Amino acid sequence: MQVKTPDWVKHAVFYQIFPDRFARTMRQSRPPEMQVPLEPWESLPTLNGYKGGDLWGVAEKLSYLQDLGVTAIYFTPIFQSASNHRYHTHDYYQVDPLLGGNAAFFDLLKAAHQRDIKVVLDGVFNHASRGFFYFNDILENGPTSPWIDWFRVERWPLSAYDGELPANYTSWVNNRALPQFNHENAQVREYIMQVGEYWIEQGVDGWRLDVPFEIQVEGFWQEFRARIKAVNPEAYIVGEIWTDARHWLDGTQFDGVMNYLFAGPTLAFTAGSRIVMPLVETPEYHPYPPLDAAGYASKMKTLLELYPWEIQLAQLNLISSHDIARAISVMGEDTASFELAVLLQMTFPGAPSIYYGDEVGLLGGLDPDCRRSFPSEERWNQSLLKLHQDLIALRHQSEALRVGDYRAIAAQNDCYVFARTLPQETVIVAVNVGETYAKVEIPQPKLRQQPGKKLFGDGRCSWQGDALTVEVSSRSGLIVGNA
């Protein structure tokens, strides 16, 4: 079958926002449910506390995002919930009141679309919460609840809160706060499909699907894709899959996945032995052991052979997220390592995804520390911000960096060189993670053109006949393009 993914994703730069921590609105006319005590914005995050970021606050920051070069926002959950991360969904049709409710969301969606910024929501369809009405009815009415078959009740009585007693119902990773849907139930399946359709009909541009591998009912995700694409063929469907995703990227389910298979090796290459192991031993993305250039080239070759090219161009390429420690902290706060990882992220096939605050040097360890509040401007790392702005602008200017073929042309010691090519454009990218200057001679790179104009970085490319010499300073990168 012919695989088709949304064209806009191939050219997008995403910005992932954890809504409680990005921006509080400056507007005075807030509804009463937003006028509540909150944790201090600058204090470190806690598991249960609220900082009070909201969607009007995001709308007020759209100029900042546009100046950064962002063209799409991925929000972690925004629906009504009794948790700051909102993965405990109470109501799939109501935006959380602390975020400003549906009114704030629709204001934001309109404002984003006026700036040609897409909006992708987080779909938590494997499990709900104890406060979800249909499960709450079971807690109140026991075996007489009309929605008893929406979940998997094992025996009575249920214990939703007392950990001294067995929960007696199936929950995600045995967390009794997250009762798991019975996806075999036709009404549950239809309910989720209609939720998915509804928000696309309201103008949302796609869904990021939380733990979709947990839903194993045959045909479920195929139907979800068919129904979402029937509403908007260009809607983006991206799954949270941490490992080999070929099962879900066959063209009948997801357009792409959160590309942790890119993140892990990229950090292992750029940071090497600087990786802070206690921050990476639990999550399943493995930015260790250290990789040299040949090891990184091998990892990228394997990754690019996993899926069809059309799928590769729709991957969500991240180096940080709300589920892992922030990349700069993982790298022992080594700025050079982080800058090289960002360079590789911005030049790889697929859509780069910036985790809010990474671009200004926001630190963060494992959850909840990776969910710190966006810092005030006087605390921004301005050089990192400029790096992101420059690399994003270069990506927007270069069609080859967005959709061009990708081929490694050299991997010597600590220096990795690759080319992104189209018939009319060739871009060469070199990354030297070593502590010394690197000079790489490539007798036959076999490129369509011989680019030599420096577009970014510290070093140079020179040609002698068909032979290419690349020179790159220590711990730095270089991008050259057509003259």
Residues designated catalytic: 210, 240
Asked whether the bond before 157 is cis by omega within 30 degrees of 0, the reply is yes
With beta carbons less than 8 A apart as the criterion, state whether 463 and 452 touch: yes
3-state DSSP helix/strand/coil percent for the chain, to nearest 5? 35, 20, 45
For 38, 241, 247, 277, the CA distances from 256, given in Å and listed in that order, are 37, 9, 11, 29
Query: For residue 106, what is the DSSP state?
Result: H
What are the beta bridge partners of residue 257? 239
Distance from chain centroid for Cα 312: 15
Tally the residues of the chain: 483
> Please, are residues 181 and 188 in contact by the beta-carbon 8 Å criterion?
yes
Closest CA relative to residue 74, chosen from 113, 18, 5, 21: 18
3-state secondary structure of 43: coil
Both tokens of 270, joined, read 């750029």
DSSP string, 404-467: SEEEEEEEETTEEEEEEEETTEEEEEEEE-SSS-EEEEES----SS---EEEEESEEEEEETTE
What is the separation of C-alpha 324 from the centre of its chain, rounded to a whole number of angstroms? 11
Angle CA 193–199–204, to nearest 5: 130
- Ramachandran area for residue 272 (φ above 0: left; ψ -120 to 50: alpha; else beta): left
The sign of the CA dihedral 410, 339, 388, 59 is positive
Structure tokens at 470: 């690349």
What is the torsional sign of CA 276, 281, 285, 289?
Answer: positive
Specify whether the CB–CB gap between 256 and 327 falls below 8 A: no
Rg for the chain, CA atoms, rounded: 23
Query: Among all chains, which residue has been given the structure tokens 């309910």?
Result: 191
Number of Cβ atoms within 10 Å of the Cβ of 237: 26
